[in-house]
Structures are given as C-alpha cells and as structure tokens.
Amino acid sequence: MNRYGGGAVTPYDPTQPPIYIPANTKTPYSVFMMHRRKDLWGPDAELFETDRWIDERLQKHLGHSFAFLPFNAGPRICLGQQFAYNEMSYMLVKLFQHFSDVELVPEAVAPELRPNPAWAAAREADGRIPRKAVEKNSPRGT
C-alpha cells in the first residue's frame, strides 16, 4: 500500500496556463481531501450522509469519473478492488440469509415505483394467492 497517496513527477514543463509546474516537480494528490471537496460533493461533503448516493446529486457525480476514488484509478488502481467488491457481495448474501422475510417500508419507495396493489390480490386458477402482500423482516429463530 502507498502510505502517502499518489503522485507524479512531471518530466517536462507543462503548458497549462495559468498554472505553471516546473519540470521534475513531484505533484502529489490526496484522495482523502478529494472526497471532501465541497465543489464536488456539496456543502455537506464532510458529513457521512448515505442519502447522497440515492438522490439526484448522484447523477451529477457520476459524470466525473475521478470524483470518487476509493481504490484509486489508472495504472495505480488497487489490485484488491475486485476482491473487496466480491467480499462485500458475499457478506451481504450471508447477512440476508439470516432473515426469512424482508419488509420494505412503503414510505421508502416513491409512489410511481410501488407495485400495483391488485398484483398482491391476484389469485391463481385454483384460488391460491401466489405472493404475499407484505413480507415481514425478522431474523430466523425469533
């Protein structure tokens, strides 16, 4: 792991006005600080807010591919990135295996995304109800 973050050495004088960087200058960057930039993440950039990933602000951040770099990017991308994603998927599967039923709070779903109530009331030809109207969220064994 790189303890001090990424950085590069410019082999030549870049000509990007108004910024001048002399040749052979190390130009480090901090992913920690990038993830707290208010111009990218809004005025609450330093707060842990899970809602930032599920509202319209996410669309703004998806356009900038280097705004969120938990595993870095490019030739120095973390070799364990896919392993971490697989471990998280495995952990979520194991967590949900401890629940027999899951109930989604109706207020958590936008009205236009809610299923038609008639679907839950539909019956098979033999009179069976093929699906539950509401599922309960309770750990197994309770």
Contacts of residue 30, Cβ cutoff 8 Å, sequence gap at least 6:
5
Instruction: Say if CB 122 and CB 130 are below 8 A apart.
Output: yes
Structure tokens at 139: 């750990």
For the chain, give percent helix, strand, coil, nearest 5: 35, 10, 55
Tell me the CA end-to-end span of the chain in Å, nearest whole number. Answer: 44
Indicate the annotated binding residues for heme: 78
As annotated, the binding site includes 78
Is the CA virtual torsion 91, 96, 98, 104 positive or negative? positive
Name 7's bridge partners. Answer: 28
Tokens of 130: 């093929």
